[in-house]
Every structure is written in structure tokens, then in C-alpha cells.
Structure 1
Amino acid sequence: MRYVRFIILSVICSIVLLGCAGKTEQAKAKYVFYFIGDGMGVNQVIGTEMYLAELEGRIGTKSLSFTSFPVRNYMTTYSATNAVTCSAAAGTALATGTKTQNGRIGMRQDSSVLYSIACKAKQAGKAVGVTTSVAINHATPAVFYAHQPDRQMYYEIGTDAAKAGFDFYGGAGWKQVFSPHDSSAIDLYSLLRDSGYMIIDHRQDFQALSAGAGKVVYVQPKDCVNPSSLPAAIDRKEGDLTLANITEKAIQFLSTRNETGFFLMVEGGVIDWLCHANDGAAAFREVVDFSETIQVALDFYKAHPNETLIIVTADHETGGLSLGNGPYELNLKLLANQKSSIIGLTQKLKQLKKSKGKNLTYPDLQELFKQECGFGATVMLSPAEEQLLESECMKIIRSDRNQLVRNEHALVDPLAVLAVKILNRKAMIQWASGGHSAGAVPVYAIGVGAEKFSGISDNTEIIGIIEEVMGN
């Protein structure tokens, strides 16, 4: 009997020990990258992949750096009050896990404060960076450090950046550097310096200046064309600051801060701007640029595969992009004929009008569109398209004023709008609007805990998983 009891006890102990052995401690992510492609819906990603495949002479897709991640999913984006969200509400959900009303930055509907995953990471001892290709106090980066009732309160949002005390801010610059309500208030750059930040622009020696810096703000030079945005990838000139540059510098700086690791948010904000403008060619190339930026993080991941998590997603879809406009085909490779974004083409039209003055002729404009869009050379226009383009050109020639039209983020020339619209139509893509849509957005993940993202369905679910994987 004693022998039987001994055997039973031995079996029970073995089961308990095996159970304990199976409960090994889950790996934690020391380094977390959170990439947000603003406005980058499912069709923006697939369209870019199909565009790249067509450039290789085939129908299909060519993978981007992140589309081959082991976890691929999609999620909804609606806000607490609107089926179609704005970037502030969507960003707040992505940063805090809580839905709010459109326009809110890091606040609930009742204006109570919400703290982001970046704030929690900082509190847990990690180094923290917030970066973007647009203004650092624009909606999506702002939700990670700021708490304001209105996304248009750029100055107040900027002051919150100084209060948050994150280790690294990077982007195009700061929108509304001076207070619109108090002329005696300190400007944002001075406030940041007083708060211990070293301001470094792209022309300075980052390595030398940041070696002894406690905290860094990395931006474009002040004499850049647009302090609210980096140049679109399609418009970029040699020496321009890029999102990949910013990401490289952020990793370089954050990885030396402490032994606890870092959290880095990177926003591809210009994707949204180009989709608001319904500029297919420039938007696809901006997604490629975003992919190249993510590759920088992937290179870091390959060196730290058991300690790194990379998430790539979007806050919402912009423009209601449709891959097809009737016929059962696409001709995306035609978009490669476009040499400038709608914003860049507006600038070139302005320069041409200024240089020619009252001597501007239709052949002058024809030559510009031939160079910039391939019209009449590699892109053949139909008689109706030629007539429409000539009619609109003559209106501009006869007018004494240069009438521009406003889209969400820029003033653009109506001739640039028409040229881009013609190319879109010939490439067989179309847009539902110049605003956001309620379309699903993609989610991609690789690294520590990546498998947990395969089950999410809404933008509020990401943060809980990141917190679990980080061990906060």
C-alpha cells in the first residue's frame, strides 16, 4: 500500500514539476518600434506593391520591407463620436487604447487626461523618441506626449513636448512656434532649450553635438521650404532631411541612453498629405519611402532579434483610394512619368509663370507638362484630354491673377490638380474624396510578441499588447 502511495505521489510531483517547467518566463521587448503611416489604408499598400511590380514589367505585387512580416492583419479606426475619424482621435486610440472625439489630443471626451504608451515607457525607465515627417506638434506625434482639447492648439501642444521630457523629438520642425494668444510668451525653440534640449538641424554634425546632449530635437534647417513638412519623396533634392535620416539618428541616440531599452514612434505623415491631394504617383512613392524607413528598424532588429518588436500600422485611410476605375485592368506604371508631387508641380508652374510673365504661352505650359508628366511623349492624351488641358491653360494665361485652390494641407495650382487627375485616370485609379474614409487599415508585426497582434480587430487593442510585451 505504501508503495502504491509512493508511486501516486511521485506521479503527482512529476506532473507539477512538468507544469512549472512549461511556464517559462515570456520574453520581453527591450526595444519597441511603433510605425504609423498616416492615411495609409490597405489599398495604399497594395497599390504601391502593384505599382512596383508593373515597373518590373509584370502583373502582381512586389513586397515592401514590412509586408512580409510574419503577422499581417487589419483593424477598424472609427472614433468615439464619428464613423470617420480624424488623426487626433485615431492617434489617441493608437497611443492610449481609448477612443475619443475627433479633434482631441490625449484626452477623453470629458477632457480628462489620457497617458500614452510613450509616457508609460518613459516612466518605466526606457528612453523615448517621437518622430515624424511633418511638424512634431502635428496630431499624430502629439498624442504620444500632449494633452489638449483641440488639435489646432499647436503652440500649447509644443509646450507639452517640453513638459513630457522625452529623450528625442525629430521631424520637419514646429508649427506655430510663437503663441497666437500671448505675444510675451516664450517661443517653442527657446522653451525647449530652457528645458534641456539641444536643437540640431540636418546640416549640423549630429555625432559631435549629440555626444554630450541630455535630450535632442532634430529638425530641418530653418531656411527649408516648408517647416511643417519634409519634402515629399518624389520632390526630394540632395541634402534634404528624410524620415530614414531621422530614424537612424533616433536609434543612434536612444540606444545609448540606458540599459533598459527604448520606445520609438515613427510617423509617415506625408503619405496623408498626398492622399488628401489625391496624388497617386507621389503617394505610392511616399509609401516606398516609408518602407525604406522601416528597413532601418529591421536592420536594428536583425542585430537584436530576441529583444525587439516592430509594429507597423496606420491611423486611418485617406482619400478612399480605388484600384480600378471601370475596366478590369490597371496601368499603374504610367504614374512613373510624374516627376513632382502636386505641391512640387505647383511650385514649378509658379516659377514658369514668373519667368515668362505676360509672355506665357500654351506651348510653354505644354513643354512643362511634357517634362513633368510625360504628356505628348510617353503619355498620349485623348483629344478630349488635350482639349480640357488647353482650355484650362488658356484660362490661366488670360488671367491676371494666379488662383490657387486649397486642399487639406496646401495651396495648389488648378493646372497641377488637372494634370495629376489625368494621370490618375489613365493609370485607372480613382479617389472618393479629399478627406478620410472609414476603410480598414493594415497591421504588421515582427519580433518579440508579434503573434499577439494576429487577433486584434480595432485600433484600441494595440496598446494593451505592447504594454504586455514590454512588461510595463
Structure 2
Amino acid sequence: MKNVRLQLFVSFLLCACFLHAQQAKYIFFFIGDGMGLNQIQMTELYGAELQGNIGITSLLFTQFPMATIATTYSATNGVTDSAASGTALATGVKTRNGCIGVMKDKVTPLKSIAVRAREAGCKVGVASSVAVNHATPAAFYAHNENRKNYNAIGHDLVAAGFDFYGGADFWGVTPQDSIGLYDLARSNGYTITRGYKEFQKKARTSDRMILFQKIAVSKIDSRTTPYAIDRQKTDLTLSEITRAGIKVLTKDPKKGFFFMIEGGSIDWACHSNDAATVIHEVQDLDRAIGVAYEFYQQHPDETLIVVTADHETGGLGLGTGSYELNLSVLSNQKISEREFSKVLGNLRKKCNGYVSWDIVKNSLSENFGFWKKIRLTLQQEERLKIAYESSFINSASLVESEYQKDETIAAEAKKIINEIALVDWISKGHSASFVPVFALGAGAENFQSRTDNAEIPRKIAEIGGYGLED
């Protein structure tokens, strides 16, 4: 009898410990779009090189106690797109490339972890550094066979009724949309704010909020916030979006929350193979995670932070055969390839169409450090001159990547500084490489062994107390 009682008592203690370890009231789910293992490794190696060291300078999230890797294939492709991978991360079910929140039959809707959290009485937030109706954030609230049906996805955003949305803006909203998404959101109780200062003014009196960048910035590009490397002081940041979301989601202290935050611009920079810009974007995501970490320090027993990626983009390679790296040279690149294309366009307007090689050469020196801080070979200089002639003399077509169209000479300058840094890219698309998974806080011990992207939300939902099983 004593042995039975002892066994029951031990079982009770084990169950109590297990439940205590599992339950999380507050959950942050960070997704670095396109952020593979080498994107993180490059950022940390770069940090060490800037200090004159060979090694790494750790990011905050790479120091989380639990770390593993995940596979990312979709239901129909060995190499996933963001719609399918976003759906896997949101619902725990794999679908075909291009689909948002539906099974691979393109019809059957899937319920996301965010919806499950809301049904369990939690506050819910979805945010990104790109548009809120883009693929990854959309996977947490929308159901559509085509990720490019931005109007319909925007309507799903409002219908989902989450407490907070943050990002660049709505993307691809056309005049054919019978009910404007901004008006629809307002009529459903959302306060739309432009910029962090306006958010702060209205946050006290608003329970459901949408935070977008300022209209002037959206008029330039509503699809994304400016790259971190190009950012002006008044530009909206992912850290500000994260901080704003926490403020909205914690208004009722009795309720927990689920908050997904995407570093979407990492992917965009990887698609254009812009290594320096990628580094700044990974660092920017790390700063946003730092905001969540501040919250975790105040609620360490109730908070879970999970960081992963939807896929790797570009097939980034570190080292090109010489058994060394020269990543610190990337510090001489002051703006992204995209922004340098704008600089060249402004020069064209300023000079009434004719821009001399000397003017372009000076701009290359200012923005990439060429000649002034970086010694070029004769071959590299000749390549830049040929690209200059393509851009300004022969009116060559722009160089395209997934989300950008850039000047020929901007693309060539970026390519040359990558070569000098001794990094290379396989493609301008996605790869099937492993992605990282890092975890900290309540239930983090569940993220120790190799996993698959569809398993991640199932583990998170279990830890949050709202399992994904029907």
C-alpha cells in the first residue's frame, strides 16, 4: 500500500512538473523569412570580423538554451515557397506551394495556431516588416488557393478579428475591391495608425489596432518597410511594431497572448543576393527579439519565445575556395542594391539624362567604398564601366529578382563586393536547406531534436494549452 501511495505521489509530482514546464501564457513566434543557417552564421562571423577577430559575435536569439534544425519541404515540392511554409508553420499541416491556409486540395480550410489561441481566450497579434497581407502573415488568418489574391486575403484579415496587426501596409489592393480594406477595418472596430508616434497617442483608447508605416513611405513602396541598412530615423521598425503589439496584447492582464512576428525583408534581400543588406536585416530581427526578451525577463515562468525560418533563400555560401572570409568589407556598403538604384535614378534626373562615369564612380565610392577603401582589380573596374554603359548609355533593361528591379550597375556593384567578401549564392530563389529553431522559456525543452516545420506549431499550441488536434 505504501509503495502504491509512493508511486502515485511520484507520478503526481512528475505530472505537476511536466505541466508547469509545458504551460506558457505568453507566446512569441518569430519567423525570419528566408533566414537559413548561413544567413545567421554570416551575421555572427561579420560581427567578429568587425572586432578584428576570427570567430563569431553571437546574436541574442542564438544564445537561447534550446536549438535544433527543421526541414521545410511542402506537400508538393521539395523546395517550398512562403505560402506553403507559412501554412505549415501556422497550422501544422503541409500544403501545396502557392496556397494559404488551405489543404493541398486548395479548398479545405485549415485552422491556424493563432485562431486556436483566440478561441482559447488569448489575445492575438500578427506582424511583419513587409505587408500584412503577404504570404507568411496571411497564413495565420487567411484561406486562399492563391497567395496573390491580396484583396481577398485582406478581407480575411479583418474577418479573423485579431487584436493587433502590424506591418508596412496592405499590398496589392486594387480599385476593383468593392469595399476598401481601410474602411472595412475601421468599420470592424480597428484603429489604423501610421507610424509609432501616432500609435502611442491612440493606443490608450483603442483595443484593436493596426500599425502601418507613414503614408509618405507607403507611397514609395507599400509592400515593405525600408531595409534596415537604408532606414531613416522616422521609419517604422520591426522593434517598434513588436513593442506596439505587446502594448495592445497585454491590456487585459488576465489573458495570455499569441504573437507572430515576421522578419520578412530578410527574404527580399536574399532574393537579390545582397549580402550586406541581409546582415542588417538579421540584426534587425534580433533587435525585435530583444523587445520580446525584455518581456520574457519580466515574466520568465509564463513566456515562450520561438525563433525559426520558413525556408532558406539564395543558397548562400560562405567561402569561395580560398579557405578564408573577408566579411568585414561589407561594412563599406552603406545602402542596399535597391536604394542605390534609386540614387542612380535621381542622378539621371538631376543630370537631365546624361550621367558621366566620373559622377557614377564617385557615387560608387561613397556608397560601396570602391577605390576609396576597397581596392578593385582592373577586371572589376572594367565590369563596372560596362555596367555603367548598360545603365546610362545603352539603356539596358533592369536586373530583376523576386521583389526588385535594379539598375545594372547597382547589381554589378553588389556582385563585386560579395566576391570581395568571399560569399556566393546558388540562385535568386529558395533552397531546401535546413532552417534553425531556437527556443527560450516555458516549454522550450520541447525544441531539442531535429524536427519539421509542421511540427513546430503543434508543439507551440500544446505548450500554450490550445492543441491543434480537431
User: What is the rounded CA distance, in whole Å, between the counterparts of 1:133 and 1:284 in structure 2?
Assistant: 15
SS in structure 2 opposite 1:468? helix
Question: 2:5 — aligned with what?
Answer: 13
* TM-aligned CA deviation for residue 227 of structure 1: 1.0
* TM-aligned CA deviation for residue 139 of structure 1: 0.0
1:24 to 13, 16, 22: 16
Question: 1:447 — aligned with what?
Answer: 441
User: What is the rounded CA distance, in whole Å, between the counterparts of 2:117 and 2:333 in structure 1?
Assistant: 43
User: What is the rounded CA distance, in whole Å, between the counterparts of 1:205 and 1:117 in structure 2?
Assistant: 30
User: What is the rounded CA distance, in whole Å, between the counterparts of 2:307 and 2:154 in structure 1?
Assistant: 25
In structure 1, stretches of 5+ residues that fail to align are 1-8
2:131 to 112, 131, 135: 135
* TM-aligned CA deviation for residue 235 of structure 1: 0.2
The aligned amino acid for 1:312 is V
The aligned amino acid for 1:57 is G
* TM-aligned CA deviation for residue 402 of structure 1: 6.6
The aligned amino acid for 2:292 is A
Contact kept, 8 Å, 2:126 with 2:261, in 1: the verdict is yes
Q: Which has more radius of gyration?
A: 1
Question: 1:6 — aligned with what?
Answer: none
Q: TM-score, normalised by structure 2?
A: 0.96
User: What is the rounded CA distance, in whole Å, between the counterparts of 1:52 and 1:294 in structure 2?
Assistant: 18
Contact kept, 8 Å, 1:178 with 1:188, in 2: the verdict is no
* TM-aligned CA deviation for residue 391 of structure 1: 2.0
User: What is the rounded CA distance, in whole Å, between the counterparts of 1:228 and 1:428 in structure 2?
Assistant: 31
Question: 1:407 — aligned with what?
Answer: 401
The aligned amino acid for 1:17 is F
Deviates more, 1:126-135 or 1:211-220: 211-220
* TM-aligned CA deviation for residue 300 of structure 1: 0.5
1:81 to 62, 66, 76: 76
Question: 2:412 — aligned with what?
Answer: 418
Contact kept, 8 Å, 1:127 with 1:258, in 2: the verdict is no
* TM-aligned CA deviation for residue 187 of structure 1: 0.9
Alignment of 1:150-299 (within 5 A): 150-178=146-174, 182=176, 185-202=178-195, 204-224=197-217, 225-299=220-294
* TM-aligned CA deviation for residue 353 of structure 1: 1.5
User: What is the rounded CA distance, in whole Å, between the counterparts of 1:145 and 1:11 in structure 2?
Assistant: 51
The aligned amino acid for 1:139 is A
Per-residue CA distance 1:298-328 (angstroms, 9 max, x = gap): 0100010000000000000000000011110
In structure 2, stretches of 5+ residues that fail to align are none
Q: Does 1:117 align with 2:106?
A: no
1:93 to 88, 103, 118: 88
Alignment of 1:373-384 (within 5 A): 373-384=368-379
Contact kept, 8 Å, 2:208 with 2:248, in 1: the verdict is no
Deviates more, 1:11-20 or 1:451-460: 11-20
Question: 1:457 — aligned with what?
Answer: 451
Question: 1:349 — aligned with what?
Answer: 344
Report runs of 4+ in structure 1 exceeding 4 Å deviation: none
* TM-aligned CA deviation for residue 15 of structure 1: 3.4
* TM-aligned CA deviation for residue 203 of structure 1: 5.9
Contact kept, 8 Å, 1:129 with 1:167, in 2: the verdict is yes
Q: Does 1:386 align with 2:381?
A: yes
Question: 2:361 — aligned with what?
Answer: 366
Per-residue CA distance 1:29-80 (angstroms, 9 max, x = gap): 0000000000000000011100111001011001001001000111110000
Question: 1:5 — aligned with what?
Answer: none
1:146 to 142, 151, 171: 142
Question: 2:464 — aligned with what?
Answer: 470
* TM-aligned CA deviation for residue 456 of structure 1: 4.1
Question: 1:4 — aligned with what?
Answer: none
Contact kept, 8 Å, 1:119 with 1:144, in 2: the verdict is yes
Q: Percent of pairs identical after alignment?
A: 45
Contact kept, 8 Å, 2:196 with 2:240, in 1: the verdict is no
Question: 1:58 — aligned with what?
Answer: 53
Q: What is the total number of aligned residue pairs between the two structures?
A: 460
SS in structure 2 opposite 1:291? helix
Contact kept, 8 Å, 1:126 with 1:258, in 2: the verdict is no
* TM-aligned CA deviation for residue 279 of structure 1: 0.1
Contact kept, 8 Å, 1:278 with 1:319, in 2: the verdict is yes
Question: 1:40 — aligned with what?
Answer: 35
Summarize the Cα distance change of 1:97–1:106 in structure 2 as closer, same or farther, 3 Å threshold: same
Summarize the Cα distance change of 1:122–1:203 in structure 2 as closer, same or farther, 3 Å threshold: closer
User: What is the rounded CA distance, in whole Å, between the counterparts of 1:14 and 1:435 in structure 2?
Assistant: 59
Deviates more, 1:214-223 or 1:436-445: 214-223
Contact kept, 8 Å, 2:196 with 2:211, in 1: the verdict is no
Summarize the Cα distance change of 1:395–1:405 in structure 2 as closer, same or farther, 3 Å threshold: closer
User: What is the rounded CA distance, in whole Å, between the counterparts of 1:10 and 1:132 in structure 2?
Assistant: 57
User: What is the rounded CA distance, in whole Å, between the counterparts of 2:403 and 2:26 in structure 1?
Assistant: 33
SS in structure 2 opposite 1:229? coil
User: What is the rounded CA distance, in whole Å, between the counterparts of 1:16 and 1:214 in structure 2?
Assistant: 46
